[in-house]
Chain A
Amino acid sequence: MLIILLIVAFIIAVLSGMGVGGGGLFVIYLALFTDIPQLQIQGINLAFFLFSSTASLTVHLTGRKIFWSAVAVMSLSGIIGALWGSMLSTNIDQELLRKIFGAMLIISGILSLKSSLKNTSKQKETKI
């Protein structure tokens, strides 16, 4: 069982390093295939993401342009939002939290699909 979990974790880290599937894949897996409570899953996912995206960044960063002022503004605002959101999450009923998570996945999937389709049609235009 552990082996399966490790393999799944590896695949999810690969996908997220490629920008595929958003950051919620591990939550989906754990929520569907284990009995771990929602908040605990979210905590594991956050920690997992920290390791996987730091690793991705070290590979990614060479040759990339980082716009530090934009990054700084968004991170600082994001930290404020995160304080707010995480205080809230530890006060909410876990079942409700899971449903909200589900709703977020649907919205995120739709936005992702839309932007993917837009990119594909742009590529087709430039070919013509």
Chain B
Amino acid sequence: MKKMNFFKCPAPFLIVGGVLSGFVNGLLGAGGGIIIVFVLSRLLKSHAEQRDIFANALCVMLPISVVSCIIYVLRGQISFDGFPPLIIPAIAGGIVGGLLLCKIRTGALKKLFAILVMISGVILIFK
């Protein structure tokens, strides 16, 4: 069977990656971003730096998250009663984080949090 060349024909990879990522995001309200970053890094390897890929991934995640959120609301199972106070820290933090991304080397932080996330995963499974 002929091996599909990703660069000549990226569409299937983009579509499958997109659907998978959206599925995870819809099911779990988070995640999926790493799949998008993975696919985009392969596709854009020589044309873009890490920060570009991250920006592109955010652009993909936004509509996906909007849809997931809408469905959650339409299914009537969540309420946003306590939510408004969180808006300001969200926006402020997002801005600060975006600015820091250009100024700080995130390598060590990423590794640290990857480990913390794995440990949390184990805890959540057994909680």
Contact = CB atoms under 8 A, between A and B. Distances in A.
Interface of A: 2, 5-7, 9-28, 31-32, 39-61, 64-67, 70-71, 73-90, 97-106, 108-113, 115-117, 119-120
B18 A74 contact: yes
Contact of A81 (B21, B47, B62): B21
Contacts of A57: 55, 58-59, 62, 98
Please tell me the size bucket of the interface on B.
35 or more
A50 B98 contact: no
A5 to B, nearest CB: 8
Nearest to A99: B125
A43 B39 CA distance: 26
Contacts of B89: 6-7, 9-10, 13
Given A84-B23, A102-B122, A111-B34, A70 B56 contact: yes
B60 A75 contact: yes
Nearest to A45: B29
Contacts of A90: 71-72, 75, 77
